[in-house]
Chains A and B, each alone.
Chain A
Amino acid sequence: MNISLVLQMAADAEPERIGLVCAGRRWSYGALLQAARAAAADIASSGCSHVALLDESSAAAAIALFGAALAGVPYVPLNYRLADLDLASLLSRIAPAYLVGDAERIERVDPDLGHRILSRTAFLTTAAASATLSSMDEPAEDIAVQLFTSGTTAAPKAAILRHANLLSYILGTIEFGAAGEEEAALVSVPPYHIAGIAALLSSVYAMRRILLLPAFDPDDWLNLASSERATYAFLVPTMLGRVIARLDAGAPADLSAMRAITYGGGRMPTELIERALALFPKTAFTNAYGLTETSSTIALLGPAEHRDALCSADPDVRARLGSVGRPLPTVQVEIRDEDGRPLPVGERGEIYVRGEQVSGEYRERSALDAAGWFPTRDAGWLDAEGFLFLAGRADDVIVRGGENISPGEIEDVLLTHTAIADAAAVAVPSAEWGETVGVAVVVRPGSPAPEEEQLRALVRSRLRSSRVPERIAFLDALPYNEMGKLLRREIRELFKG
Chain B
Amino acid sequence: MKPGTKLKSAVCDTEVMVIRGGADTVVECGGAPMAEQAPAERKPINADFAQGTRIGKRYVDADGKTELLCVKAGQGSLAISGVLLQTKDAKPLPSSD
The yes or no answer to A415 lying at the interface (CB within 8 A) is: no
Q: How far is the CB of A46 from chain B (nearest CB, A)?
A: 26
Verify A173–B96 contact, CB threshold 8 A: yes
The reply to whether A206 and B95 contact each other, CB–CB distance below 8 Å, is yes
Give Cα distance in the complex from A199 to B96, angstroms: 8
A291: interface (CB < 8 Å): no
Q: Mask for B5-45, Cβ within 8 A of A = 1, else 0?
A: 01000000000010100000000000000000000000000
Asked if B3 lies at the interface with its beta carbon under 8 angstroms from chain A, I say yes
Q: Mark B80-97, 1 if CB is under 8 A from A, else 0.
A: 000000000011111111
- In the complex with contacts A199-B97, A234-B97, A262-B96, A9-B91 CB distance below 8 A: no
A445 in the interface, Cβ–Cβ < 8 Å?
A: no
Q: Which residue of B lies closest to A195 (CB)?
A: B97
For A328, the chain B residues whose CB sits under 8 A away are 93
B97 pairs with A1, CB closer than 8 A: no
B71 within 8 A of A: yes
In the complex, how many angstroms separate the beta carbon of B3 from the nearest chain A beta carbon? 7
Give chain A's interface secondary structure class: mixed
Which B residues are in CB contact (< 8 Å) with A296? 96-97
Inter-chain contact A302/B94, CB cutoff 8 Å: yes
Give every chain A residue within 8 A of B90 (Cβ-Cβ). 175
Quick one: closest B residue to A189, CB to CB?
Answer: B97
Interface readout for B52-79 with A: 1 if CB under 8 Å, 0 if not?
A: 0001110000000000010110000000
A5, A12, A284, A300: the one contacting B93 at CB < 8 Å is A300
Q: How far is the CA of A164 from the CA of B18 in the complex (A)?
A: 12
Closest Cβ of chain A: how far from B1's Cβ, in Å? 13
The CA-CA distance from A175 to B95 in the complex, in Å, is: 10
A201→B95 CA distance, assembly (Å): 12
A177 touches B96 (CB 8 A): no
Asked, given contacts A5-B71, A164-B3, whether A177 binds B93 with beta carbons under 8 Å apart, the answer is: no
Please give me the residue from chain A that is nearest to B71 by CB atom.
A9
Residues of B within 8 A of A5 (CB): 17, 71
Residues of A in contact, count (CB < 8 Å): 40
Q: Which residues on A sit within 8 Å (CB–CB) of B55?
A: 9, 12-13, 176-177
Question: Given A5-B17, A176-B55, A176-B56, do A12 and B95 touch, yes or no (CB 8 Å)?
Answer: no
* Interface membership of A329, Cβ < 8 A: yes
Task: Please tell me if A129 contacts chain B, counting CB pairs below 8 Å.
Answer: no
The docked-state distance in angstroms from the alpha carbon of A206 to that of B92 is 12
A238 within 8 A of B: no
Q: Is the CB of A286 within 8 A of B3?
A: no
> Which chain A residue shows the least CB distance to B56?
A176
Known: A8-B71, A177-B55. A260 touches B94 (CB 8 A): yes
B3 touches A1 (CB 8 A): yes
Q: Please, which residue of chain A has its CB at the minimum distance from the CB of B94?
A: A286
A366 and B54 CA atoms in complex are apart in Å by: 38
Q: Chain A nearest CB: distance from B5 CB in Å?
A: 9
Q: How far is the CA of A206 from the CA of B93 in the complex (A)?
A: 12
B96 partner residues in chain A, CB cutoff 8 A: 173, 198, 202, 234, 262, 264, 286, 288, 290, 296-297, 300
Could you show 27 A-B contacts with beta carbons less than 8 Å apart? A1-B17, A9-B55, A12-B55, A12-B71, A13-B55, A13-B56, A138-B6, A164-B3, A164-B4, A173-B93, A174-B93, A175-B92, A176-B56, A176-B57, A178-B92, A201-B97, A202-B97, A206-B95, A260-B94, A262-B97, A286-B95, A290-B96, A300-B93, A302-B93, A302-B94, A328-B93, A329-B91
Task: Give A residues with C-beta under 8 Å from B.
Answer: 1, 5, 8-9, 12-13, 138, 164, 171, 173-178, 185, 195, 198-199, 201-203, 206, 208, 232, 234, 260, 262, 264, 284, 286, 288, 290, 296-297, 300, 302-303, 328-329
Listed in ascending order, the chain B residues whose CB lies under 8 Å from chain A are: 3-4, 6, 17, 19, 55-57, 69, 71-72, 90-97
